[in-house]
Structure 1
Amino acid sequence: MHERTQAPWWRSKGGIALTGFALVAAFYILREHYAHALGALPYLLLLACPLIHLFLHHGGAASGERPDAPAGR
């Protein structure tokens, strides 16, 4: 028998409605607070740097082994 998989939440009617509402809300918030959002942008970029650093190093070889080292060593 085939297993029936559930569709992702964003493909459901509620997910589409929520996404549309969030886009409209974001448009109006950014439109009304455009000057505030642009003034905070440099600080948001600086705050994003440590997060980017952590996420980019998460998938690296954290165990200290070199990926090209022979398996017997």
Structure 2
Amino acid sequence: MVALVGGFYLLREHWNHVAGNWIYLLLLACPLMHLFHGHGGHGGHGGHGGQGSGPRNDNDKV
């Protein structure tokens, strides 16, 4: 909460600098969101379910 209040006052005092460079801040947000989004680890994307991923039951007949 202290960081949020401090960030608010910092942004308020330096709004002219931020408003002039907002496009660079937007571009910087893209890699930061990719890093901190949390994809559940970097183990790859195989094994997310789908057809043929596990034992077949009798109820799965088509």
Normalization by structure 1: what TM-score?
0.45
Normalization by structure 2: what TM-score?
0.49
- Whose helix fraction is larger, Structure 1's or Structure 2's? 1
Question: Which structure is higher in RCO with an 8 Å CA cutoff and minimum separation 6?
Answer: 2
